[in-house]
Structure 1
C-alpha cells in the first residue's frame, strides 16, 4: 500500500502535467516522462533575392601559423656530456653549436625582412602576370585566364575621348527639349538586369565604362587595391553541375582581378579610375597607397607615374589633351602634374583647409577647375591666375613646389588674384563630389546634407574674366546620402555620351539606381527586388551606348543594366594552344 508521501508525490505530478498541458510546454512534459508527439517544424522562410553565386573561388594564401618553440628547461636541453670527451672536443662542439644557432637566427631575421618588404607598396613596373597572380606556368587555369585577358585587351580599339561643345543640347523651343527628354526617358525605363557577377573580392569604390562599342568592358576598383575587369557578354566560367542551382543566381560573363596596388589591404584602396582621353588603351588608377599607376592594355605593363609621399590621393582628372593631371588629396591640396615633364615639375596648391574629395576639369574650358571639399564648399577656380602666386616652397624631401593655403587665400584677396576664385557655393555639410558635364556647362554636386544640386553656367560667364554674377544652383533634389561607414559614398556620375541629352546616374539607399537629366528630371528608377538586396553605391554608364548602366555594391558584386533586346553573349571560342583540362 503506497505511503502518504507517495500519494502526495503522484498528485503533484498529475497537477504539474495538467498545468504544462494547458501552457503547451511540450518539452517540459516530455522531460517529466510523458510522451507527446511534437508539433511539425515550421517551414523556413524563403528569401526573395539570392546573391549571385561565384563561379570560381579566390586563391587565398594561407599563412602557416607557427606556435613557436615551447619553453623547456635549460638543463633538459643540454645534451648529456660524454665522460670521455676531451676539453678540445668539447670546445669544438660548443663552437659548432654556437655557429648553428647564429645561422638559424640569421635565417629567421632574413625571413622577417622579406616578409616586411613584401608588405610595402610596390613602386616598380609590374607585368600582367604579376598583377593577375599567375607567374606559375604550371597553373593551367591561371594561364588560360591570362590568355583570355590579353586577347580581350588587345582586341579593344584605343578610342579617344570626344570633346563636346558648350552650347550642345540647348533649345530655344521648350517643346523640342521636352521631346528629347521624353525619348531618353522611354529608352532608360526599359533597362533590366542582364548580368551579375562578383567582380572584386571587396567593396567597390569606383568604376569606369570603357568606350568600346563592340563589347561591354567595365573596370571596378575595390577596397583592397584590386582592379576588376568585367566582360559581361563573354562566356561565363564553367561550374560543377548542381541540380538545385538557380540559373538566375549564376554569374554572367567573364571577369579578371588584377592586384594593381599593394599591399592587399585597406591601405591600398583604389579611389579613382580614369582612361587616357586620347587613348583608351591606358587605364589610370589612384590609391590610398599615395600613388597613381597606369596600365597599358597593349603592353600589359603597369607603371607608377606619380607618388604623393604620405598624403592620400582622393581624386584626379585630365585635361582634354590627356597631358595635364589635376590631383586632389586629403590635405586640402590640388597638384598640377604634367605627364610629359615628370613629378619633379609638379606644383601643389593648398586650395582648402580640409580634404578635397573630388576635382573636375571643364572639358570645353580646361582652365576652369571644380573642387568639392569637407569644408562644405564647392569652388570654381580659374587656373590661369595661379601663375601669379609667389612664396612657394620646395621641401628637401620632395620635388614638388608647394603653396600653402594661407598663401593662396592672401593671393585671392589681392588685386592680381581676384579672378582666381570665380565662384563658391557653401553646402550645409561636406560636399561629397562635384563634376562638370561633358558640355562643360552643367555642374552636379552631392552632399551629406542629403541634397543633389545642379548649376548651369552660361557661355558669357565662362568667357569673361570677372566673378560669376551668381553661383546659386537652379535645382535642389532631395536624396538620401547617409551611407555611413560600410558603404561607398554616393556620387552622381555624368554619362560621357555626347550623342544624347546630358544625364547622370546615382545610387539610391533603397537598393535602386536613379537616372536624372541635366534639368533635374527623374528619367528612370532602376530596381529589381527579386535580384538586388544591397545598395548599388557605385554607378557608371557606357560612353557610346545609351542603354547601358553598371553598378557595384559593398561586397564586390556588380550588376549590368541594359535593354534585353539584342543583349546575348557570343558563343565561346576555345583559346588555341591552351589546355583547358
Structure 2
C-alpha cells in the first residue's frame, strides 16, 4: 500500500468515526470504548471441591528464641584514654555484670526452649488445651461434652454364641443380604477438616442420638466432631455464604492434648472409657497416655515411659486395667487402681508390637500384631505368673517405672512347663502385621498386613475354654487388599464394629478412595465412595457402637467424613 493510499484510508476511517459519533449523539448515547464481554455458562466441574473451613485458626509455634550472642569486642565500650583508674575499674565491673546478665538470660531462654519441646505431664484444663482456637468455643465444647455424661454408656459385648449358624442355615444369608442393602445406601452426609494434620486414630461415642466422633492427628491434636450439630454458615471474603455442598458440616473443636505439637506426639490410639464413656483415653508417640474427663474438662496423665514409643492401648469392659503395646516389642499391663510403679512390662517380640487387642468376653486373651510378621494370641493369666525378681535400688522400678521382663526372660518362661500355654496361637505373615483385633463376641480376629492381605480367624467356645494351646491357628479366609500406604498415609487397619447387636463386620480404607465394609466371613458388604466429594484415601475408619448404619473416616489432611443414610 502506497503512502497516498494509506492517507486516503485514514481520512475515510476518521470520517466514518465522526459520522458514527453524530448518530450516537442524536440518539443520546455515548460511544463505547471497551467491548462488552459475553458471559458464557461454565460447564459443571467434575472434580471434587475441597471443604471450605469455617475456622481459620492455625497452630502457632511458640518456641522461645534465645537472645543473639554478641562478641566481647563489640560489647566493650570505647575507653576514654584519660579516664582515671577508679573510673576504669567501675567500667570493667559494669561490663562484667552486663556479660553475666546476658549469659543468664541466654541460658534461661535455652532452657525454656528445651522445656517447650518436652511432653507435658501436669493436669491440663480446656483453656490450655484449646489455646489455638477462640476462647468463645469453650462454652459450646463444655455443653457438648456434658450432654453425653447425663447417661452411662458402658461398653457392650455380644454373647459368645451370637450369630453362629449352621452351614445350611439360610438365616445367615438373609442377614448378610439385609446388611448389604443398608450399607450400600450410605452416603456422605457431613464432612469437615476436624484436625490440622493427618488423622492417625478415631473412636465413635456410643450415644445413640448423636454422631460424636474423636480423631487423633499426627501432631498430638484431638479433634472432637459433633458431625450433625447445626453449624454457623461460613461466609467468604465477599460476604457470600458458601454453597452447602462445600461448607463444613457439624461443629468441631481441636484440643492440643499431647505436646510438643510435632510428629513426636502423634496420637496412636483413641479409646473411650468402657465403664461409662464419660472420658476418652489417648496414647501418643510422646510416650504418654492421657485421659480427658468430659465432666471436669481436665486432661490428666495416666501413664508415661521414658523411652518406649506407645503404639496402641486397649481396655477390658470393666475398665480397671489397660494393656499397652510399644515400639520396643513390649506389652505393659497397667492396673488403673494401683500406682504406676506396679505396672509390668513384658518384651514379647524383638521388633515393634503395632497393636494389642483385649478379648471382650475373655479378657485374659490378648492378640498382638508385630513387625516380626507374627500374629500371636496370649493368655495374660499365665503371662503374669512370671516371677518378679527382687529389684536393686538403681532399677527402673524404683524410678516409678514398671517391672521389666526382657525377651530372653519371656522366651525362657514360654519354654518352661509353667509357660507352655502362655502363647495360645501364632501365625506368621509374609510381611509386617499392621494390626489385629478381636470382634465384639471375642470369637473372630481380623488382621491387616503389608503383604496386601486381610486375614480372618474364628475360634469356637470349646477352643477358647481350653487351658492349652489352640489346635489350629490357620486363618479360614484371606482377602486381597492393597495396604501399600507408603510414607504419607496412615497405615490401613481393619476395625470391627463395636455394636454387639448386629452381625459382625469391619470397615477398612481403600487406596481407591473408598470405604470398604466386610462381614466376619469375608463377604464384601459395601464399597462406599463419592468421586465428586472425596479425592483422598480414607485411611482411618470407625463405626457407631449403637447405630448400625453409621461409619466415619478420616484422611491425611485432617478431613473427616460421616457416612449415613441421606435425609435422616
TM class by shorter chain equals 0.7 to 0.9
**Counterpart in the other structure of 2:543:** 541
5+ residue gaps in structure 1? 1-42, 135-140, 567-581
From the superposition, tell whether residues 64 and 188 of structure 1 become closer, same or farther in structure 2 (CA, over 3 Å): closer
For 1:188 and 1:458, how far apart are their aligned partners in 2?
A: 28
**Counterpart in the other structure of 2:557:** 555
Match of 2:295 among 292, 298, 306: 298
How many angstroms does 1:109 deviate by?
2.0
For 2:319 and 2:81, how far apart are their aligned partners in 1?
A: 79
Match of 1:168 among 137, 140, 162: 162
5+ residue gaps in structure 2? 1-41
Alignment of 1:361-380 (within 5 A): 361-380=358-377
From the superposition, tell whether residues 308 and 120 of structure 1 become closer, same or farther in structure 2 (CA, over 3 Å): same
From the superposition, tell whether residues 64 and 454 of structure 1 become closer, same or farther in structure 2 (CA, over 3 Å): closer
Match of 1:88 among 86, 89, 104: 86
How many angstroms does 1:66 deviate by?
7.7
- Give the count of matched residue pairs: 517
For 1:389 and 1:397, how far apart are their aligned partners in 2?
A: 18
How many angstroms does 1:470 deviate by?
1.3
**Counterpart in the other structure of 2:17:** none
How many angstroms does 1:312 deviate by?
0.6
For 1:88 and 1:522, how far apart are their aligned partners in 2?
A: 92
CA contact under 8 A between 1:208 and 1:540: conserved in structure 2? yes
For 2:356 and 2:501, how far apart are their aligned partners in 1?
A: 25
**Counterpart in the other structure of 2:143:** 151
Using structure 1 for the length normalisation, give the TM-score: 0.85
Match of 1:122 among 98, 120, 123: 120
| Aligned-partner SS, 1:120 | coil
| Aligned-partner SS, 1:473 | coil
Alpha-carbon displacement from aligned partner over 1:207-247 (angstroms, at most 9, x marks no partner) = 00000112111000001100000011122244334559443
How many angstroms does 1:158 deviate by?
3.4
CA contact under 8 A between 1:393 and 1:402: conserved in structure 2? no
For 1:309 and 1:166, how far apart are their aligned partners in 2?
A: 39
Match of 1:521 among 514, 519, 523: 523
Match of 1:382 among 354, 379, 383: 379
Alpha-carbon displacement from aligned partner over 1:220-277 (angstroms, at most 9, x marks no partner) = 0001100000011122244334559443121111111100100001111100011111
Structure 1 residues 512-521 or 167-176, which shifts more?
167-176
For 1:215 and 1:68, how far apart are their aligned partners in 2?
A: 51
Using structure 2 for the length normalisation, give the TM-score: 0.86
How many angstroms does 1:91 deviate by?
2.5
Match of 1:142 among 130, 134, 148: 134
Residue 59 (1) aligns with residue 51 (2): no
**Counterpart in the other structure of 1:48:** 47
For 1:471 and 1:64, how far apart are their aligned partners in 2?
A: 51
For 1:499 and 1:445, how far apart are their aligned partners in 2?
A: 22
CA contact under 8 A between 2:234 and 2:242: conserved in structure 1? no
For 2:190 and 2:536, how far apart are their aligned partners in 1?
A: 16
Match of 1:488 among 487, 490, 493: 490
Match of 1:253 among 247, 250, 254: 250
| Aligned-partner SS, 1:280 | coil
From the superposition, tell whether residues 304 and 66 of structure 1 become closer, same or farther in structure 2 (CA, over 3 Å): closer
**Counterpart in the other structure of 1:348:** 345
Alignment of 1:234-245 (within 5 A): 234-241=229-236, 242=238, 243=240, 245=242
Residue 211 (1) aligns with residue 211 (2): no
For 1:327 and 1:514, how far apart are their aligned partners in 2?
A: 28
Over the residues paired in the alignment, what is the CA RMSD in angstroms? 2.3
For 2:327 and 2:258, how far apart are their aligned partners in 1?
A: 19
Alpha-carbon displacement from aligned partner over 1:433-459 (angstroms, at most 9, x marks no partner) = 000000001111101110001111000
How many angstroms does 1:393 deviate by?
6.8
Match of 2:221 among 226, 233, 244: 226
